[in-house]
Amino acid sequence: MTLSQDQIWSLITLAVFLFILAIWVKMKPGGQKKPTWWVVAAALIGIGIYFFPMGAIDAYELTQTTFHLSYIENYVLWLLLCTALIAAGLVIIIKKRGRK
C-alpha cells in the first residue's frame, strides 16, 4: 500500500492529536498531575521546534498546495504556528511553577 504525501501528513497530524489527547485524559483522574503537565508542555515545545520553519519543508508543500499560499505567506503561517506552540508550552510551565 502506497500512501500519498497528504495521507502521510494527515496520519502524522492524527497521531500527534491522539498523543496529546491521551496525555490530557491521563491527567484527568487525581494523582500525580505535575509530571503530566511537564510532558504536555514538553510535547508542545518539541512539536513547535520540530516544525519550526526550516525543519518542515514537507509541511510547507502541504499547506502551499492546500491553501494556495505564496512562499512568504507559507513561511509566516508556519512561523506563527510554531511560535504559538512553543509559547503555549512555556505558558503551561510558568503557570504550573507559579502554583507552588
Which pLDDT score, from 0 to 100, does residue 91 have?
A: 92
Reading the chain (100 residues) residue by residue, the pLDDT tens digits are 677 777 777 778 878 877 887 777 777 666 555 567 888 888 888 888 877 766 567 677 778 888 888 888 888 888 888 899 899 999 988 888 876 5
Cβ pair 43, 23 in contact under 8 A: yes
Of 46, 50, 44, nearest to 23 by C-alpha is 44
Cβ pair 43, 85 in contact under 8 A: no
Instruction: Give the rounded distance of the alpha carbon of 2 from its chain centre.
Output: 26
Most distant CA atoms of the chain, gap in Å: 51
Which pLDDT score, from 0 to 100, does residue 72 have?
A: 85
Instruction: Give the rounded distance of the alpha carbon of 45 from its chain centre.
Output: 7
